[in-house]
Homo-oligomer: A and B are copies of this chain.
Amino acid sequence: MYRPGPRNLITDVPGFTVGHATDERVQSGVTVLLCAKDWPAGVDVRGGGPGTRETEALAPENLIGRAHAVVLAGGSVFGLAAADGVAAALSAQGIGLTLRPGSPAIPIVPAAVLHDLGNGGDKAWGLEPPYRALGASALRAAAADFALGSVGAGRGAMAGLMKGGIGSASIDLGGGLIAGAMVAVNSVGSALMPDGITYWAWPFELDGEFGGAKPPGAQTDMGNPEPGGSRLPGSGNPGANTTLGVVACSAALTTAECRRVAMMAQDGIARAVRPAHSLLDGDTVFALAGCAVAIDDGARRALQVSRIGSAAADCMARAIARAVYRSRSPQGIPPHG
């Protein structure tokens, strides 16, 4: 039987830590995934209104294809500055690519942002948005344990008409192969079925990690194509909603394989949120390879990569449900338990 890793967090994958910085006055924040080294990384953007940075550096046909950290941030376009704070701090520690001795280390810090500008927090920052400092602060907080729910990049987020937030989940596939996901859920779509009780992701739940609610009875009409609980009928702000995800695995994958895993992990969004990938979402998934475990180099490699992608999709669906579940619970509960 398959079980989550010990923390049921993306940090169960060796070589990754996560830190949050939250500004309660602004009702926004930043979440940083820090890599122990520059791991192979890919990205897949599927939303109609994305806000991103350094995604082209992760294209398989380009030079770099690796990342030192990944930043998720609130603040819409202003949140992109969080990656500045992270990149400067990492470089000051000597972390980054060194193209020439004596010149600054060049950290590759891909980032994606979500829109939380209209959530009632104090956004009167004028020329000094808080995100650069929040990025540096989140980086300092990076650790194996981190909170879920209404924190960090998920502090100001909404999942359809409910509170969104940060979620994470992991799975131990055996033989040292571990996959995990982390997500900031700010979707147009709802994470709940039209009954308002059952998570779309229910079939993927492990160990009651998001409450154990089972699907409704036969008399409930689930066929209504109007996405119940979503903001689709009401919202008029393209680019105002986003599910930002990161998946990681312990396998040694190439950049192109990371991209395939990111593509498959988007299916976890599709299975946990309805609708997803609309013009009004900025859905983006990063995938990183911790390179602790070698996988087959022969004919079975495509199978192995696909199996990892399928597990990553499951983790993504679970992480989304956990984000909403933890954001509905009181603050301060332990991140796992």
Q: Measured between alpha carbons, how far is A204 from B233 in the docked complex, in Å?
A: 19
Selected contact of A1 from candidates B221, B306, B310, CB within 8 Å: B221
Q: Is the CB of A278 within 8 A of B264?
A: yes
A2 interfacial by beta-carbon distance below 8 Å: yes
Q: Which of B215, B279, B303 contacts A236 (CB 8 A)?
A: B303
Does the CB pair A2–B226 fall under 8 Å?
yes
Contact B280 A276 (CB under 8 A): no
Of the candidates B193, B203, B280, B310, the one whose C-beta lies within 8 Å of that of A275 is: B310
A187 to chain B, nearest CB (A): 12
A227 to chain B, nearest CB (A): 6
Q: Is the CB of A235 within 8 A of B303?
A: yes
The yes or no answer to A329 lying at the interface (CB within 8 A) is no
Contacts A2-B226, A280-B303, A302-B48 given: A264-B260 contact, CB under 8 Å?
A: no
Q: Is the CB of B46 within 8 A of A275?
A: no
Copies of this chain assembled into the complex: 2
Bound Cα distance A204, B222 (Å): 6
The distance from the CB of A179 to the nearest CB of chain B, in whole angstroms, is: 8
Instruction: Type the 1/0 row for A62-85, where 1 means its CB is closer than 8 Å to any CB of B.
Output: 000000000000000000000000
Closest partner residue, chain B, to A205 (CB atom): B223
Which residues of chain B are near A132, meaning CB under 8 Å? none
| CB-defined contacts of A299 to chain B, threshold 8 Å | 236
Q: Do A278 and B306 have beta carbons less than 8 Å apart?
A: yes
**A204 proximity list for chain B (CB < 8 A):** 222-223
From residue 26 to 66 of chain A, which have CB atoms closer than 8 A to chain B? Answer: 46, 48
Is B263 a contact of A225 with CB atoms below 8 Å?
no
Given contacts A224-B1, A271-B271, A302-B238, contact A307 B232 (CB under 8 A): yes
| A310-B278 contact in complex given A270-B271, A271-B270, C-beta closer than 8 Å | yes
Q: Are A279 and B302 in contact (CB under 8 A)?
A: yes
Chain B residues in 8 Å Cβ range of A48? 260, 302, 306
Assess whether A153 is interfacial by the CB under 8 Å rule: no
Give, as a whole number of angstroms, the nearest-CB distance from A277 to chain B: 5
Residues of B within 8 A of A46 (CB): 263
Question: Is A173 within 8 A of B225, CB to CB?
Answer: yes
Kindly state the separation between the CA atoms of A306 and B233 in the bound complex, as whole angstroms. 10
B302 touches A277 (CB 8 A): no
- Chain B nearest CB from A276 CB (Å) reads 6
1/0 per position for A300-331, CB-CB distance to B under 8 A?
10110111011101100000000000000000
- Interface of chain A residues 167 through 203 with chain B (CB within 8 A): 171, 173, 188, 193, 200, 202-203
Closest to A264 in B: B277
B267, A279: Cβ atoms closer than 8 Å:
no
Chain B residues contacting A336 (CB-CB under 8 Å) are: none
| CB pairs A–B below 8 angstroms (21 shown) | A2-B224, A2-B225, A171-B225, A193-B203, A203-B215, A212-B218, A214-B218, A225-B314, A233-B303, A233-B307, A235-B303, A264-B276, A264-B278, A267-B267, A267-B270, A267-B276, A267-B277, A275-B306, A279-B305, A280-B302, A280-B306
- Contacts A1-B224, A267-B275 known; list 11 others, CB within 8 Å: A48-B302, A205-B222, A233-B303, A236-B300, A236-B303, A264-B277, A270-B313, A278-B306, A278-B309, A280-B303, A280-B306
